[in-house]
Structure 1
Amino acid sequence: MLTRRRRFALLAASSAVVLAGTILTATQAQAATGCRVTYSVASQWPGGFGGNVTLTNIGDPVTSWTLTWSFGAGQTVTQAWNANVTQSGSNVTATNVGYNGSLATNASASFGFNGSWNNSSNPVPTNFAMNGVACTGSTTNPTTGGTTTGGSTTRPPTSAAPTTGAPVTTGSTNTTGLVGWATQGGGTTGGGSAAVTTVTSSSALSSAVSGTTARIVRVSGTISCSGMITVGSNKTIIGNSGSAIVGCGLNVSNASNVIIRNNTFRNWNDDAINVQYSTRVWIDHNTLSNGYDGAIDIKRASDYITVSWNLLFSHDKAMLLGHSDDNASEDQGHLRVTYHHNYFNGTNQRHPRVRFGNPVHVYNNYYYNIGSYGVASTEGAGVLVEGNYFEGVDDPYHLGEGSSSAGSLVARNNYLTGSGSGQTGGSVASIPYPYSLDAASSVKSIVQSGAGAGRISL
């Protein structure tokens, strides 16, 4: 069967979906052997489901482990990560991979899998054994909050197949609220409830967004400028109705807690929005066109960022994540970004082009008549491409780009019309935050009616 290696970040993220584990006490001759197992169905859809397993060694240290169980209703494992999983009939065997075999006392290893089920019952296994020693007890089901002992739990199918991780709902679009990576690391509030400063010139804008004092800055009218205006921490930059920033861009550098919403950028001569060495940034409901370099570029160890509901047209380089192949020392473990409900209308490339970030979440975006390619995963990145609508896109997503080596990319539940099939490979770390996933077939109309400046009340 197909197995895949997913980064061990799943262990750190598992607390988002797995409730407190129930100890399964070993019944055996050697008192120093025992385990604790938590098994959960993290997501479920017609014909398939995603499972998480956390194994904790509560006995003497072991240098390798084998975990076995039996399915009771014809379930079949089709794909796995962080363990080698095989199945014979109803019997499943999971063995450690190279980096998670040694378990000290009270140490844990987590792995995940995708599987198939019969759409009527998906009972939780109860007959786990580690290294041949039976574990008996109960398992906790975080989906319902209940506990089953030697029984089963039946769950209704859902319409989507999300990555393992935090809860996913379907069909409840939120066009104004913050979702995604910018909710993590303490969250993103920008200027919060600070007093509003309205600016009408580039000098006033530059002054208002500088420093670390919390401010809400409203852009009024057309501000003509050149180069980049540096944005400090704790700022919300909002465009009033009909406003525009023409000729220059915003540089969020060495800052945190920044919100950029409802602005129109045109004809910038560097980047429209550049984020570097910065965390907790939300870029939302902006319109960007006809610029020189990147529309929204994120780089140099930036982290916890959401890019949502933006409209891009008449432009080449849309969104770059990670600026250089040789910047791994800064970027690995960072560059975690969510891109959702953005409208790429005839743009050419980088939607986004990703280096190093894992997981990067690209969901519910609308791609129309893209020139070169949609999404590229390179240099060890892990990108989940989920529930997007691709129309007239010959190359919707692929691995590697130019001289950059391939990353990993998992694509699921996308809608493609007049488009190529895309390229996938590898595995992606779990998504830690809850989000609402619109049906991919509805994304075109949802995004067209909601993306860009002027579509929200502020």
Structure 2
Amino acid sequence: MSKHGRLASLVAAASGFIFAVALLVVPTASAATLFGDDFEDGNSTGWSSSGGSWSVVADGTRAWRQSGTSTDAKALAGAVWTGQTAQVRVKPAAFNGSGRHVAVTARVQNTSNYYYLGLSNSGSVVLGKRVSGGHTTLASAPATVSVGTWYTLRLEVFGSTLRGFVDGAEVVTATDATFGSGKIGLATYYAAAAFDDVVVTDVPGTGGPTSTTSTTTTTLPPGSCTTSGSPQGFASVNAWGQNGTTGGAGGPTIEVDTAAEFLSAIAQIGPLNICVRGMIALPGPMHNVTSDKTIVGIGSTSGFTGGGLNIGLPPSNVTSPPADAVHNVIIRNLVFRNWADDAINVQMFSHHVWIDHNDLSNGYDGLIDIKRGSSYVTVSWNHAHHHSKNMLLGHDDSNGAQDVGRLKVTYHHNWFDATPQRNPRVRYGEPVHVYNNYYFYNTDVGVACQADAGCLVEGNYFENVEEPVSNNYAGPGGRCVARNNVLVGESGQPDCSGSVQEPRDYYAYTLTDPNTVKSVVTAGAGVGKIGG
């Protein structure tokens, strides 16, 4: 169930202590998280179910599965709310007959009266209501609905306006005033499905309202491919024989829209700018990218499903950077979905890598993992969501021979959107610079700094994060310094000790005002935007 009750008690208990970390005291954010459940506690406490067969299962991460298809099954949770946004990840498993659906529900009166947003096996998204058990379709739109695929459904109900979103895109809207308030829920209509990452807020959009504060970002026009730009942070440093990260600069620019074209391009030797058009289905698990490449998506709907990108030589036991280590790679403005291993993996002393303005969710293992002596990497302006194993820096407590003195990485202006853990989880790297990121409802831990790593965590905005920063999360301890962070809602206090080398010894940087980080990052992170 939601951990907000435990969060509140921990924060209250902590209020009597004095911490050596400087914190900014700010008003609570206007958006309230009303309810959340990622089922990682292994139970469904807080829910009431009717019909079907419900159980918490392992499905990549833990999820709540309804496995029966012979009846109409529902589950309810929460209090009675008026305006509400209910979001859930759902994976249809089976349909029994035609016109069946799996759904998120809102303003639920009881199991026979509610609004719903459903994925139907008739090939549509349906926004409807049930009154005394009867179905009324308020709006619908064509959609591809596949068994075994995760989708994100979001139903917003404010006043008499109902809006339905699938994977972040608004697809249906309607006006209806039958129900003025109610609970939220999940439903399967003669269908089986797994549900995960339920989040309910009192404003449109699960991350709160989008601020109109101006930022340095600009929207990419449809069809454009921007290969220029320079990183901040460690990817900009002159080290290991490489002065900054330029990717394919100086080489030709090509456009690809098939897996065969893309895989051929990333295998070429020499500088190359690769513009990706549309979503390309890659075979799993990961595909090697050679040095001196810029890979950038066209517009805001280009990227990869099925497979991920590997930047690095095959694993070995060498303990110093080999002469042919992969280097000088830029990955920007790409959507990553449903990868079979990692979305992006950086390994074996790879260096000068810039991973920027991507949208990553719903995969198998890590979103962005950096390991085995890799260094001089910047991870910036990415939107990570609907995934548990987020970002790993250093893969094993026993890999110090390769990692000590390396794993120098900057994470800035990323949106860690309800990603429970590894935001990032760090071993050995120093300094690891985590600044100006927006953390929202990370139920396990924000930054975990372990195995003698040294992390500087500054100028971030933590909202409803029980354990924002820790150097005692699991395994051998590390060192961390937390300063000038904003902690709002039911966020706990940083658990930090020790000293850390200053990133300014390597590069200059300017912090965004931490009080504005939420609005700046939610407006600027992800695909279709350039800047930062």
TM-score of the pair, normalised by structure 2: 0.53
Equivalent residue number for residue 148 of structure 1? none
- Equivalent of 1:243, from 280, 290, 302? 302
> How far, CA to CA, are the matches of 2:400 and 2:214 in structure 1?
37
- Equivalent of 2:235, from 169, 182, 187? 182
Note the C-alpha offset of 1:199: 1.1
Where do 1:189-338 residues align within 5 Å? 189-225=246-282, 226-241=284-299, 242-254=301-313, 255-277=326-348, 278-338=350-410
CA distance 1:362–1:341, change in 2 (3 Å): same
Note the C-alpha offset of 1:291: 0.7
Q: Give every structure 1 segment of 4 or more consecutive aligned residues whose post-TM-superposition deviation is greater than 6 Å.
A: none
Preserved contact between residue 172 and residue 438 of structure 1 (Cα < 8 Å): no
- Deviation track 1:35-94 (CA, whole Å, cap 9, x = no partner) reads xxxxxxxxxxx9xxxxxxxxxxxxxxxxxxxxxxxxxxxxxxxxxxxxxxxxxxxxxxxx
Q: For 1:237, give the aligned amino acid.
A: I
Give the SS at the match of 2:498. Answer: coil
> How far, CA to CA, are the matches of 2:408 and 2:451 in structure 1?
14
- Deviation track 1:301-323 (CA, whole Å, cap 9, x = no partner) reads 00100000000110001100000
Over the matched positions of the two proteins, sequence identity in percent amounts to: 51
- Deviation track 1:253-297 (CA, whole Å, cap 9, x = no partner) reads 141000000000011110000000200000000000101100000
Note the C-alpha offset of 1:173: 6.8
Equivalent residue number for residue 451 of structure 1? 525
Q: What is the Cα-based RMSD across aligned positions, in Å?
A: 1.9
Aligned length: 288
Q: For 1:252, give the aligned amino acid.
A: I
Equivalent residue number for residue 112 of structure 1? none
Give the SS at the match of 2:285. Answer: strand
Equivalent residue number for residue 433 of structure 1? 507
Preserved contact between residue 409 and residue 426 of structure 1 (Cα < 8 Å): yes
> How far, CA to CA, are the matches of 1:425 and 1:202 in structure 2?
47
Equivalent residue number for residue 134 of structure 1? none
> How far, CA to CA, are the matches of 2:303 and 2:266 in structure 1?
16
Q: For 1:246, give the aligned amino acid.
A: T
- Equivalent of 1:414, from 485, 509, 512? 485
Where do 1:108-187 residues align within 5 Å? 177-184=230-237, 185=239, 186-187=243-244
Note the C-alpha offset of 1:174: 5.5
Equivalent residue number for residue 130 of structure 1? none
Equivalent residue number for residue 139 of structure 1? none
> How far, CA to CA, are the matches of 1:327 and 1:379 in structure 2?
10
Give the SS at the match of 1:443. Answer: helix
Q: For 2:264, give the aligned amino acid.
A: S
Equivalent residue number for residue 94 of structure 2? none
Give the SS at the match of 1:437. Answer: coil
CA distance 1:212–1:173, change in 2 (3 Å): farther
TM-score of the pair, normalised by structure 1: 0.61
Unaligned residue ranges in structure 2 (runs of 5+): 1-23, 25-212, 218-228, 314-325
> How far, CA to CA, are the matches of 2:215 and 2:459 in structure 1?
13
Given the alignment of the two structures, is residue 442 of structure 1 paired with residue 499 of structure 2, yes or no?
no
Preserved contact between residue 173 and residue 436 of structure 1 (Cα < 8 Å): no
Preserved contact between residue 172 and residue 437 of structure 1 (Cα < 8 Å): no
> How far, CA to CA, are the matches of 1:408 and 1:207 in structure 2?
43
> How far, CA to CA, are the matches of 1:276 and 1:214 in structure 2?
20
- Equivalent of 1:405, from 473, 476, 492? 476
